[in-house]
Structure 1
Amino acid sequence: MRRLRVLCGTAALALTLPVLSSGQAAAAVPAYAVYLQNRTTGLNAADSGGTVAQHNPKGNEDHQQWLPVAVSGGYRLQNSDESGTCLGRSGTSAVTAACGADGTTWTITSAGDDTYTVGVPGTSQYLTGAADSTAVQLGPSGDLARWYLTPVDYATTAMPSADTRRLDQVTFLTAHNAFANGADGNFASFPVSLFPNQSRGISRQLTDGVRGFMLDTYTVSGRAVLCHNSCSGVGSPVPLATDLQRIVDFLKANPGQFAAVFLEDYVSSDVLKSSLASVNGLGDVLYRPDQEGVATKGWPAMADLAARGKQLLVFSDRTRTGDAASGWTARDTFGVMYQREWTVENYWSMGSGIGSSDWSCYSRWGTARPLSTDSAAFHPLFVMNHFRDATIGATVTGDNGKLPNRAQKFCAPAARKKPNFLAVDRYDLGSPTPLTTVNALNTYILAPGQ
């Protein structure tokens, strides 16, 4: 992907900033390096010691990049970082072999929806993934035989005009465990309390340009409060309503700004509904995509949301089926969206607080909802997590400085879209800072073709 252009300013992200597009479509076989990304699983075909297997997308670190080369009778798929090595077959198994050897020529045919089949010439056998294993093999046509040829390096193009750019084209700075800041009140017992995820309170976060807030809710004395891991031993945790009120008050005082709240939700729907009811003005700014046909029509323009004063989305990580099994009221009946119906999200941890990290970018919800989940009408919002199990200042500083590279080279190809919510610990640390990275992401869109 083209290098990010880093902006100098650190102004808060407003609805009128440049935005990003999601998804691309192309029928021609690419003449550039691609990831063979299974449409059903979202995983990439990788050379794994001579066999080919589905692995979590991992940028340039796992022999996952392939270059289609036209040859007599079809194409070869040459591994980009293993000279002379191509995708081949042995019986029904996918393997790697010397380019030009028997079994290294394939047909590559558009299968619609920006997908392709990779077939054995003259047969009805195709490269297929597996829904329940890492296997890549030969098999019949079907969903598991459809592959995205996802560009390793996406081209970029000019930004849509301010009156047309959509919600799914914007990136927002997001604070992981925004409440665990050591400034607004107690959030955890010892020793977790020694490792706050943020160093500034919610009001300061808003002033600094944070627009996404990850909050963990628990029930204490019949109301939703904010704690990390549990509320055991936590004296006077901050009520959810307190932080929501701060966000709503800011939005009302700043027309044109937009925010989202992501609840790691351990409370009943009745407790959550009661807490939200105590937030003055919440209903005025709350945006309800479920009531506006977004799932079939797509996300609205940011200018439209601004004009109507619809400035806040609230998500819960609970599921509709889980609430029904518990006999609870569906949360979206009072405006809290079930997150996995509207977003995709990568796994939350890059590893422990020190040492090496895992930059692979794969779904928090596994192959049931790959990061690449998409449709022509509706593009799920992409929540990109970029943090570790524990918040260590020196580690976070280094990780946040590498955020542009991971967002651009690892997670955007894995999701086939730019991040909409870039979630980090200690957003004040790093060079460039996370806000600078967000501003840079908001200066271009992915090109509609390569």
Structure 2
Amino acid sequence: MSLTRPRPRTRRRARALCTVAALALGVPVVFSGPAAAAVPTYSVYLQNSVTGLNAADSGGTVAAHNPKGNEDHQQWTPVAVSGGHQLRNLDESGICLGRSGTSAVTTTCGADGTTWTITEAANSTYTIGVPGTSQYLTGSSADSALVQLGSSGDYARWYLTPVGYATSAMPSADTRTLDQVAFLTSHNAYANGVDGNFASFPVSLFPNQARGVSQQLTDGVRGFMLDAYTVSGQAVLCHNSCDGVSGPVPLATDLKRVVDFLKASPGQFVTVFLEDYTSSDVLKSSLASVSGLSDVLYRPDQEGVATSGWPTMADLAARGKQLLVFSDRTRASDVSAGYATRNTFGVMYQREWTVENYWSMGGGLGGSDWSCYSRWGTSRPLTTDSTAFHPLFVMNHFRDYTIGGTAETDNAKLGNRAQNFCTPAARKKPNYLAVDRYELGSPSPLTTVGNLNTYVLTAGQ
């Protein structure tokens, strides 16, 4: 895996001229991720606009694979040739994207079938077509399925996602919006062995964190992943289940710690992510018992965020709206169970507001999987976006079991994975970087988050 960030190229002058001309003519210009203008001359991922999966060389065939940075022959460079473009594989010298019948293949550059037309389509996408025909490169909805040639349609639209994004300085403190900011997030924040019991043996031998929630807040943690179960009509925090767990910490106890911290820390902002095994009635009752919570609770559903975008951090600070709470339940599951929907008491359905990558990098020891793909499958890929509303990106960076030495090594590579694997996979910068043992690693996860908060992505490369 690459340990250096690709150097971004400057934006092409031709792209700027096209944009100016369009504006002069009154033509709407939409910027969502990389701008769709002239065919890029830098290296890209061929990323399907429906699934978020990348076209990868798979032993001579081309398959739809989960995004995996530079580890899986997924990077291509468009090169202008007579009649169109070649797409040259970045790490396989002389190998290009080609076709054989209705199948996409890889073959020697210049061979028959290696010239393509690359044409702008809607919403920053492109079509990759067979010259002189109505056949196009067409993605698949299943990981490892072959990429084929087919007719036009949504699956025939591709992002040419930059391998390395250009950046600009983070906007000033009074103008930066919530979706531009990154937050250090503790995975299973409650499973720390300090605040109380969280699991039965042997899971109790593997705490995800080494410090209590109050100390985490003091240290700069601003995202908290909590697993909520019901015991005796109360929401409590346990790992896997509460069977055999004596005295688990109530959810209300940790929420009170957060609220007290926020009341004493104007301008700070915290997000709570619930892995939620409670009924809405139990959760509502637990939240209602936390004094002061309603004062700081932020309600994006009541402020038109889905149509107008996220507010500035300065606006949230000025209004004292400092806490955002998500549940991983779905609205449909609550409705089908006959529950009151959670948004009615201020808990947002996470899948309506965020995207999130799959949670595991592998076991606690041994090899790791740095691929970055949606926790919720191709029905809600990491690339999910709109011109008005940018879902917040939750980036998980931890393993099945927490081993201190492994977490230390993984945390030191957090910035590399965020920039070179997960940012292009999502076409957006991570907002929440969730780790185990956040105090371990050099550079530390807090330093990495600080680095991410110095820039925003810009269109093009």
Q: Distance in 2 between matches of 1:341 and 1:93?
A: 36
Q: Give the counterpart of 2:70 among 50, 56, 60.
A: 60
The residue aligned with 1:429 is 440
The residue aligned with 1:279 is 290
Deviations 1:309-340 (A, max 9, x none): 11010000000111111111100010000001
Deviations 1:253-276 (A, max 9, x none): 101000000000000000000000
Fraction of identical pairs, as percent: 80
Q: Distance in 2 between matches of 1:293 and 1:109?
A: 35
The reply on whether 1:307 has 2:318 as its aligned counterpart is yes
Q: Distance in 1 between matches of 2:362 and 2:423?
A: 20
Q: Distance in 2 between matches of 1:22 and 1:284?
A: 34
Compute the displacement of 1:162 (Å): 1.6
Q: Distance in 2 between matches of 1:24 and 1:169?
A: 16
Q: Distance in 2 between matches of 1:228 and 1:371?
A: 26
Task: Answer yes or no: is the 8 Å Cα contact 1:198–1:426 preserved in 2.
Answer: yes
Q: Distance in 2 between matches of 1:229 and 1:399?
A: 23
Q: Distance in 2 between matches of 1:217 and 1:203?
A: 18
What is the TM-score when the length of structure 2 is the normalising length? Answer: 0.93
The residue aligned with 1:120 is 130
The reply on whether 1:207 has 2:218 as its aligned counterpart is yes
Compute the displacement of 1:83 (Å): 0.5
Compute the displacement of 1:23 (Å): 2.5
Q: Distance in 2 between matches of 1:408 and 1:137?
A: 30
Compute the displacement of 1:135 (Å): 2.3
The residue aligned with 1:349 is 360
Q: Give the counterpart of 2:327 among 311, 316, 323.
A: 316
Q: Distance in 1 between matches of 2:373 and 2:271?
A: 22
Compute the displacement of 1:67 (Å): 0.2
Task: Answer yes or no: is the 8 Å Cα contact 1:165–1:302 preserved in 2.
Answer: yes
The residue aligned with 2:336 is 325
Root-mean-square deviation over aligned CA pairs: 1.2
Q: Distance in 1 between matches of 2:323 and 2:35?
A: 31
SS in 1 for 2:98: strand
What amino acid is aligned across from residue 293 of structure 1 in structure 2? G
The residue aligned with 1:85 is 95
Alignment of 1:225-236 (within 5 A): 225-236=236-247
The reply on whether 1:239 has 2:250 as its aligned counterpart is yes
**Unpaired segments of 5 or more residues in structure 1?**
5-20
Q: Distance in 1 between matches of 2:213 and 2:396?
A: 19
SS in 2 for 1:118: strand
Compute the displacement of 1:3 (Å): 7.3
SS in 2 for 1:248: helix
Change (3 A) 1:137 1:318: same
The residue aligned with 2:400 is 389
The reply on whether 1:107 has 2:107 as its aligned counterpart is no
Task: Answer yes or no: is the 8 Å Cα contact 1:2–1:155 preserved in 2.
Answer: no
Task: Answer yes or no: is the 8 Å Cα contact 2:36–2:126 preserved in 1.
Answer: no
Q: Distance in 2 between matches of 1:271 and 1:28?
A: 54
Task: Answer yes or no: is the 8 Å Cα contact 1:56–1:360 preserved in 2.
Answer: yes
Q: Distance in 2 between matches of 1:296 and 1:22?
A: 15
What is the TM-score when the length of structure 1 is the normalising length? Answer: 0.95
The reply on whether 1:45 has 2:55 as its aligned counterpart is yes
SS in 1 for 2:418: helix
What amino acid is aligned across from residue 115 of structure 1 in structure 2? T
Deviations 1:162-196 (A, max 9, x none): 21110000000000000000000000011111110
Compute the displacement of 1:112 (Å): 2.0
Compute the displacement of 1:449 (Å): 2.6
Runs of 4+ in 1 over 6 A off after TM superposition: none
Change (3 A) 1:325 1:169: same
Task: Answer yes or no: is the 8 Å Cα contact 1:22–1:168 preserved in 2.
Answer: no
The residue aligned with 1:16 is none
Compute the displacement of 1:27 (Å): 1.2
Q: Give the counterpart of 1:163 among 169, 174, 191.
A: 174
What amino acid is aligned across from residue 105 of structure 1 in structure 2? T
SS in 1 for 2:121: strand
What amino acid is aligned across from residue 47 of structure 1 in structure 2? D
What amino acid is aligned across from residue 249 of structure 1 in structure 2? D
The residue aligned with 1:14 is none
Q: Distance in 2 between matches of 1:361 and 1:110?
A: 26
Q: Give the counterpart of 1:178 among 186, 189, 198.
A: 189
Task: Answer yes or no: is the 8 Å Cα contact 1:2–1:156 preserved in 2.
Answer: no
The residue aligned with 1:249 is 260
Change (3 A) 1:404 1:132: closer
Further displaced range: 242-251 or 158-167 = 158-167
The reply on whether 1:72 has 2:82 as its aligned counterpart is yes
Q: Distance in 1 between matches of 2:272 and 2:254?
A: 10
The residue aligned with 1:367 is 378
Compute the displacement of 1:156 (Å): 1.3
Alignment coverage as a number of residue pairs? 434
Q: Distance in 1 between matches of 2:301 and 2:7?
A: 36
